[in-house]
Amino acid sequence: MDLNSINDFLAAAIRMAAPLMLVGIGGVFTERSGIFNIGMEGTMLIGCMVSVYVSLVTGNLWLATLAAMLVGSLIGLIHAFLTVTRRADQIVTGAAINLFALGITNLLNSQLYAGFEYRPRVTMYPIVAPEVLQELPFIGPILFAQPVIVYLAFLLPVLATWILYKTSWGLNIRAVGDHPHAVATAGLSVNKLKYQGVIISGMFAGLGGAALVLADLGLFATGMTAGRGFAVLAALVVGKWNPVLVAAACILFGAADAFQLRAQTAQFAIPYQLFVMLPYLLTIAALAGLVGRTVGPKTVGKPYDPESI
């Protein structure tokens, strides 16, 4: 493997990790608030389609991004209503969101490009670094030839960590996932905090969907999230629900995804299907506890009952 191939792989690994990192930030907040949201996969998929549709209609990249975040927030609100207010099973509700997302995007996919002779690529996130930096040996293509959303994905985990551990609201979010009755005793609204955590999760899942399609491909394809939302769930475990550590785990999964794409085009004696499995094998290893013992929020996945002890 030559230097150009290594550069290309590392740049792709960072770029492909960015959507996972964005979704992971929201995942931290929802699970820290005690709500398990496997619906991030479906929310991310809908975010992909909405961002492409709005970009096709308006031609405005930032409106497309905002639309994906708003739709993601709406899905998060629905998930919060069902799991917090109605105390529905969180796994079933998340699975329903994923099935709905797969069905609605399959249904609308044929209509998305109606009126076009061919599928046009929408405007993608720009590369904002000066060319002089992009041309630096080795690190230039890796660090400075990236879409602007990639830099946002690397900055937000640091900001999320500060919010989670250095602000009173972050303390409340962490407390409501571990000791909701103590939070209620302190005079705070448990349901309000849980709603906030889930809505933030939906917003970032929508943003992650926009990043997935507008940072690299510029086209919507059926099922294009390909389990990335589930990989984020594993990254939450690997990262022990810390935004920075979760982001680091997402980079690992992004690197595995970038590697398997390149391995398919290389002349390896090993069947390429094995490389396709690599990101998911890492996910299974993470969920199986091979990264060490992890202890999540104490009430995650459990409905809050104010009358229980």
Question: CATH number for the domain including 198?
Answer: 1.10.3470
Arithmetic mean of pLDDT, 158-184: 96
Span 77-91, pLDDT tens digits: 999 999 999 999 999
pLDDT at 185 over 70: yes
Average confidence score pLDDT of the chain: 90
- Containing domain of residue 90, as a range? 8-106+126-287
pLDDT at 176: 96
CA contacts within 13 A on the Cβ side of 12: 15
The whole-number pLDDT of residue 287 equals 67
pLDDT, tens only, 257-282: 888 877 777 766 677 677 667 767 77
115 in a domain, yes or no? Answer: no
pLDDT at 291: 62
46 pLDDT band, cuts 50/70/90, is very high
Q: Is residue 308 part of a domain?
A: no
In a domain, 306, yes or no: no
pLDDT of residue 43: 98
Summarize pLDDT for 92-119 with one digit per residue, the tens: 999 999 999 999 999 998 888 877 777 8
Condensed to tens digits (0 to 9), the pLDDT of residues 209-241 reads 999 999 988 999 999 998 899 989 988 988 889
Q: Is 32 among the domain residues?
A: yes
What share of the chain in percent tops pLDDT 70? Answer: 93
With a pLDDT cut of 90, the percent of the chain lying above it is 65
Residue type, 65: T
299 domain-assigned = no
pLDDT at site 55 = 94
Of 115 and 190, the structure prediction assigns the larger pLDDT to 190
Chain mean position to CA 176: 23
Name residues whose C-beta falls within 8 Å of residue 170's C-beta, 6 or more positions apart in sequence: 163, 164
Query: Does residue 118 lie within any of the structural domains?
Result: no
Domains: count for the chain: 1
How far is residue 229 CA from its own chain's centroid? 6
Question: Contacts from 124-130 at CB under 8 Å and sequence distance 24+?
Answer: 124/61, 124/214, 124/215, 124/216, 124/218, 125/61, 125/149, 125/211, 125/214, 125/215
Q: Using only C-alpha atoms, what is the Rg of the chain? A: 20
Structural domain contains residue 297: no
CB distance 85 to 79 below 8 Å? no
pLDDT digits (tens, 9 = 90+) for 278-301: 767 776 777 676 666 677 899 999
- Looking at residue 115, what is its pLDDT? 74
pLDDT of residue 272: 66
Grouping H, G, I as helix, E, B as strand and the rest as coil, residue 30 is helix
94 CB neighbour count, 10 Å cutoff: 24
pLDDT for residue 306: 83
Of 135, 155, 134, 153, give the one whose Cα is nearest residue 144.
134
- The reply to whether 235 falls in a domain is yes
Is 155 in contact with 162 (CB distance < 8 Å)? no
Which has the closest alpha carbon to 231: 210, 203, 212?
Answer: 212
